[in-house]
Structure 1
Amino acid sequence: MTRAERKLDHIKHALSTGQSRATWLDDIRFVHQALPNSSWDSVSLQTQIGELVFGSPIFINAMTGGGGAKTTELNSQLARISREMNIPMAVGSQMAAIKNSEEIQSYATVRKENPNGMIIANLGSEATVDQAKRAVDMLEANAIQIHLNVIQELTMPEGDRDFQGALSRIEQLVNELTVPVIVKETGFGISREAAIKLMEMNVAAIDVGGFGGTNFAAIENERRQRKLTYFNDWGIPTAASLIETTTINSTIPLIASGGIQHALDIVKCLSIGASAVGLAGVILKTLVDDGELATIEEIKQINEDLTMLMVSLGANSIQELQQSPLIISGDLHHYLSQRGIDTHTYANRK
């Protein structure tokens, strides 16, 4: 199977396997504020990742590219959506275009459709500095994601089996690239231990990419004769991964992604420490099922719902939202207790 055929397979299986709703975000409940002292007009959705300023905390996270005409059209549609909504967009891994120049158009179309927007390049942690520079130049990108996907590669029949030296390569990218380097997981979560190592490298941001959304182990298992089913339930759920990384005393911004489906999920992620939230699966499904205009309307509705929820909590900014009291229960509470994280502090914030 060619790399382009595999990219198309990923889209097909991502749509068919769906999202598991195993993020543990349902274990978070806000303390109701009967006197919120807020209003619609006083709420600001603006956020910041290093020097990158977002008008809304949501962005279109990495999905596709490198699969010929089909992925070119998908990326063109996503780019027009990001332009219309003035939100950032990340592309899928550009290694396909690095290795085959015929696939460059499936990524370059993003900058063509959104000439003034915030575009984020994407490569795996195996990337060299030269490859990363080519990926950035290909899109005139404002930043680059370096994705970590060990479990996907191990499950992929033709995947990598050697993951040595990733940290040193990431450090070299941070030191030699002229754009911010964001490190993201691809659906299995970032632990506290991994976050500490990445923060020591001075990455611009960490995208926790938690378990509970599109499951690339399940997708790759669909392509295997002998299934590695033990990887289908592997990983740190999004809520747990995000809280783990916030326990480290650092100013490095955190991005939430992994199974986030609606405005309440987004508000919960922001309240437990995210500065921005990446959406992928829910946007892909809406785009494929209902089209470009419907996807734009869905994002508009999400922004309206975000404002509504922040008014109800008396939070006029994301910084204030991160002081909203909330209750953590269920599997998330048990996990955090085992990891030595005191959940009482969340319940008594002011």
Structure 2
Amino acid sequence: MSEDTSRKDNHYSTNNLASTTTDSSSSNGSKVTDIEIIKNRKLEGLKIPLEKDVQAKNTSTYLEYVMLIHNALPELDIDEIDTSTTFLNHRFSAPIIIDSMTGGTDKATVINERLAMVAEELNLGMGVGSQRAGLLSDALRESYSIARKSAPNAFLIANIGGVQLKSITLDDVRRMIEMIDADAIAVHLNPLQELIQPEGEPKFKGIYSKIVELVKSIDVPVIVKEVGSGISRDVAVRLELAGVKAINIAGSGGTSWAGVEKLRADNTKAVMKSHLGELFWDWGIPTAMSLLEVRRSVRIGIIASGGLRSGLDIAKCIALGADICALAWPFLKCAAESKESVLDYARMLIEELRAAMFLTGSRDIKALRRVRYNLQGPLLEWFSVYGR
């Protein structure tokens, strides 16, 4: 298949990428295609978090330093509590998004199908993994489009890396949105991951202007997210000025993508990459700290994520100022087992959230945003100096 000569500057297109080969070779010396390389990387991105311990080592989300004030006289019955909320003009049954995880492999198709079925059944949000792979072939596209097929009414979020905005066209982005009939698109910022990844592209110059251009050109809301190192107030302010509709802070304390890429670097004997991955394993702004900092800096929507594991974590994040919360790794573990496992976990999260709301006297999410809380330990120390 010939190269699409109407595209310039190495822009990706559905036709020309699927047929190209690289200089990479398989272990038996044969050439491997771009599709195979991406499928292998996507599969490793699933297998390593599922099979290895790549959670934070010596840091945390700092949510353990947030104490919600108990209400001994809540003046409401548990069945009165309403966990529903509105975010980006969509009504959710609970402030929960199944965060961006995967795509680009056969296993990802199964996982995204299970996650989407639960998002549809419980009226939760869902994001898919980075969709550049979906431009390569119909086979890879299916691993993403299965989400909309399985969740015709759920709020779905498309996904592209900030670095990739420099090498794809706006039409490519529109195809990603159409791929899952997305309600929004997330641009993920992952400088640490790109730095450690054996085939990474730590070239972030010019990405801000690309985000500005994207916001002006795309019809769906643009969300900008980190992938586990947090968003600072300075970056948040710049993103609000760029016109993005929401920020997913994705703080540190949960899955370490530096850790994931360090293990991948070990497999390829990339010694320096492995060293950097070990050194920066816990790098980032803890989730609670990032949330407090961003909420006091911008008025746009905030998605809290990064190491959230329970409905109590969700309640704390809402009290600290999040509009909605997102979780990835726990849902990935469940989806690797069965759709029923995902459903059970999601229902448990909602019941845990409902319990926290009852114990703080919060009839609805709006009331939960007003509850009193205390900050403790290093989070209080930081807030006393920088957070006010």
Give TM class, smaller chain. Answer: over 0.9
- Tell me, what secondary structure is at the counterpart of 2:185? strand
Which residue does 1:176 correspond to in 2?
Answer: 217
Q: Is 1:59 the equivalent of 2:59?
A: no
Structure 1: distance between partners of 2:90 and 2:55: 29
- Of residues 144, 150, 154, the one that matches 1:113 is 150
Which stretch of structure 1 is more off in the superposition, 50-59 or 23-32? Answer: 50-59
Aligned residue pairs total 338
Percent same amino acid among aligned pairs?
A: 38
Matching residue's letter, 2:55: Q
Which stretch of structure 1 is more off in the superposition, 310-319 or 99-108? Answer: 99-108
Matching residue's letter, 2:40: E
Q: Is 1:329 the equivalent of 2:366?
A: no
Q: Does the aligned pair in 1 maintain the 2:229–2:284 contact within 8 Å?
A: yes
Q: Does the aligned pair in 2 maintain the 1:155–1:231 contact within 8 Å?
A: no
Which residue does 1:283 correspond to in 2?
Answer: 331
Structure 2: distance between partners of 1:281 and 1:315: 28
- Tell me, what secondary structure is at the counterpart of 2:387? coil
Structure 2: distance between partners of 1:117 and 1:325: 32
Which stretch of structure 1 is more off in the superposition, 98-107 or 237-246? Answer: 98-107
Matching residue's letter, 2:284: G
Shift of the alpha carbon at 1:326? 1.0
Shift of the alpha carbon at 1:100? 4.0
Structure 1: distance between partners of 2:338 and 2:110: 12
- Tell me, what secondary structure is at the counterpart of 1:160? coil
Residues 124-148 of structure 1 deviation map (CA, whole Å, 9 limit, x = unaligned) = 1132422211100111111111111
Structure 2: distance between partners of 1:121 and 1:149: 16
- List alignment gaps of at least 5 residues for structure 2: 1-23, 25-36
Shift of the alpha carbon at 1:18? 4.4
- Of residues 152, 155, 165, the one that matches 2:196 is 155
Shift of the alpha carbon at 1:17? 2.1
Shift of the alpha carbon at 1:50? 2.7
Please report the RMSD computed on the Cα atoms of aligned residues, expressed in angstroms.
1.5
Which residue does 2:282 correspond to in 1?
Answer: 233
Residues 322-349 of structure 1 deviation map (CA, whole Å, 9 limit, x = unaligned) = 22111111121222234x224xxxxxxx
Which stretch of structure 1 is more off in the superposition, 316-325 or 85-94? Answer: 316-325
Structure 2: distance between partners of 1:154 and 1:316: 45
Q: Is 1:195 the equivalent of 2:195?
A: no
Length-normalised TM-score, structure 1: 0.93
Shift of the alpha carbon at 1:34? 1.5
Q: Does the aligned pair in 2 maintain the 1:72–1:109 contact within 8 Å?
A: yes
Shift of the alpha carbon at 1:52? 2.4
Residues 182-238 of structure 1 deviation map (CA, whole Å, 9 limit, x = unaligned) = 111000000000000001012111000110111110000001132212210210011
Q: Does the aligned pair in 2 maintain the 1:7–1:66 contact within 8 Å?
A: yes
Q: Is 1:134 the equivalent of 2:169?
A: no
- Of residues 51, 55, 62, the one that matches 1:19 is 55
Which residue does 2:8 correspond to in 1?
Answer: none
Which residue does 2:11 correspond to in 1?
Answer: none
Which residue does 2:128 correspond to in 1?
Answer: 91
- Tell me, what secondary structure is at the counterpart of 1:235? coil
Shift of the alpha carbon at 1:259? 0.6
Which residue does 2:27 correspond to in 1?
Answer: none
- Of residues 312, 323, 328, the one that matches 2:359 is 312
Structure 1: distance between partners of 2:280 and 2:172: 30
- List alignment gaps of at least 5 residues for structure 1: 343-350
Structure 2: distance between partners of 1:283 and 1:137: 25
Which stretch of structure 1 is more off in the superposition, 271-280 or 73-82? Answer: 73-82
Structure 1: distance between partners of 2:53 and 2:293: 27
- Tell me, what secondary structure is at the counterpart of 1:162? coil
Structure 2: distance between partners of 1:142 and 1:30: 33
- Of residues 63, 68, 71, the one that matches 2:108 is 71
Structure 2: distance between partners of 1:25 and 1:233: 16
For the pair shown, the structure with the greater C-alpha radius of gyration is: 2
Structure 2: distance between partners of 1:325 and 1:273: 12
Matching residue's letter, 1:261: R
Q: Does the aligned pair in 1 maintain the 2:96–2:325 contact within 8 Å?
A: yes
Matching residue's letter, 1:95: R
Q: Does the aligned pair in 2 maintain the 1:19–1:281 contact within 8 Å?
A: no
- Tell me, what secondary structure is at the counterpart of 1:194? helix
Q: Does the aligned pair in 2 maintain the 1:129–1:172 contact within 8 Å?
A: no
Q: Does the aligned pair in 1 maintain the 2:197–2:262 contact within 8 Å?
A: yes
Residues 284-329 of structure 1 deviation map (CA, whole Å, 9 limit, x = unaligned) = 11232x4221220221121122112101101112221122111111
Shift of the alpha carbon at 1:101? 4.2
Q: Where do residues 253-268 of structure 1 align in structure 2 (5 Å cutoff)?
A: 253-268=301-316
Structure 2: distance between partners of 1:52 and 1:66: 28
Length-normalised TM-score, structure 2: 0.84
Matching residue's letter, 2:322: A
- Tell me, what secondary structure is at the counterpart of 1:245? helix
Structure 1: distance between partners of 2:178 and 2:364: 34
Matching residue's letter, 2:252: F
Which stretch of structure 1 is more off in the superposition, 142-151 or 50-59? Answer: 50-59
Structure 1: distance between partners of 2:136 and 2:191: 20
Which stretch of structure 1 is more off in the superposition, 319-328 or 175-184? Answer: 319-328
Shift of the alpha carbon at 1:120? 1.0
Shift of the alpha carbon at 1:85? 1.6
- Tell me, what secondary structure is at the counterpart of 2:75? coil
